[in-house]
Amino acid sequence: MENTLIKPTTSVNDKQRIDTTKYTFRIVRLNATELAQYPKLPQLTTIMNNAFSVTGRKYPGLYNAELKRYDAPTELVEDMGRDGVLFITLATTSEQTDADPRPIATTGYKPWIDTFDLGDKLKASFTVTEYPEQHKTPDDVPRFEIKAVTVDPEFQSQGLASQLFANVTEEIFGGVRSRGGSRVRLMVCTFKEINEGYWTAKGFVKLTEMRFDVGTAGSLTGFSSMDMYRDHCL
């Protein structure tokens, strides 16, 4: 599936502007098998790692800015799981051929799983706070996790993530309706200090918070990870 996007020139940060009129944008959708075979998979993981490091440098001491989100492309595939779907925005300039588009943004989803594995990167002491019972949802309400929300630092602040999020939610809602469902819960796991405001603005509410001790991922201050949710009646 592909969509065409045209975006105006927008300031990326105080030092850099990108003239997006030089680019043609389109969106592709990959299931788990297609993602594993995607020739630009290493490039995708590089973009995600770069964005992760750029964010870390904006919050000194929060976590190690050189920490990689994924040590290898296969980790992204494993993270998305066998039922995951990833939407990718591709950018092409007039100097490029259609066979060589540049991936610049991603957002995906997969069925939510309550269990989790912190992995070697987050081995440390932590405490968990769960929020009131009214935030719980019946077991028969399908839940989906929003995953891999990333924009190449050069193309940030241009609405690319919001466009991909719209594609993701449209597909989730359509799939639930087609199976006769009337409710769905979207979930996201994110850094509290960095992204709570972003997801709150999108209507998400805190469900669970995990506080990691100083030293985790090289953090000088410790940090919090949150599960947040947004419910929908279809």
**Which pLDDT band holds residue 11 (cuts at 50, 70, 90)?**
very low
pLDDT at 182: 94
Please enumerate, as own/partner, the contacts of 62-68 that have beta carbons within 8 Å and a separation of 24 or more. Answer: 62/191, 62/193, 62/194, 62/219, 62/220, 62/221, 62/223, 63/216, 63/217, 63/218, 63/219, 63/223, 64/217, 64/218, 64/219, 66/218, 67/121, 67/217, 67/218
Query: Chain centroid to CA 80: how far?
Result: 11
3-state secondary structure 158-170: CCHHHHHHHHHHH
What pTM did the predictor assign?
0.86
Residue 101: how many CB atoms within 10 A of its CB? 20
Residue 184 pLDDT greater than 60, yes or no? yes
* Digit-coded pLDDT (tens) for 114-129: 766 656 666 656 677 7
* Digit-coded pLDDT (tens) for 22-71: 788 899 999 999 999 999 999 999 999 999 988 888 898 888 778 888 99
Contacts of residue 226, Cβ cutoff 8 Å, sequence gap at least 6: 189, 190, 191, 192, 196, 206, 207, 208, 209, 210
pLDDT at 119: 62
Residue 139 pLDDT greater than 80, yes or no? no
If you search the block for the tokens 């669970």, which residue do you land on?
A: 208
Sketch the domain layout of the chain as residue ranges.
Answer: 2-233
Residues 181, 142: contact at Cβ < 8 Å? yes
Token pair recorded at residue 202: 């999108």
Residue 102 pLDDT greater than 60, yes or no? yes
Residue 3 pLDDT greater than 50, yes or no? no
Mean pLDDT on 188-205: 94
Q: Spell out a b/e string for 44-54, using b for 16 or more CB atoms within 10 Å of the CB, else e.
A: bbbbbbbbbbe
Question: Between 218 and 162, whose confidence is greater?
Answer: 162
The answer as to CATH 3.10.180.10 being correct for domain 2-233 is: no
**Cα Rg of the chain (Å, integer):** 18
Residue 113 CB burial class (10 angstroms; 0-12, 13-18, ≥19): exposed
* Digit-coded pLDDT (tens) for 149-173: 999 998 888 899 999 999 999 999 9
The helix (run of H) or strand (run of E) holding residue 16 is: strand 16-18
Pairing, β 183-191 against β 143-151: parallel
CA distance 181 to 46: 37
Mean pLDDT on 83-110: 87
Residue 9 pLDDT greater than 80, yes or no? no
**Which pLDDT band holds residue 7 (cuts at 50, 70, 90)?**
very low
Lowest mean pLDDT among 80-89, 96-105, 126-135, 214-223: 126-135
pLDDT at 219: 86
Residues 165, 171: contact at Cβ < 8 Å? no
Q: What is the rounded average pLDDT for all residues in the chain?
A: 84
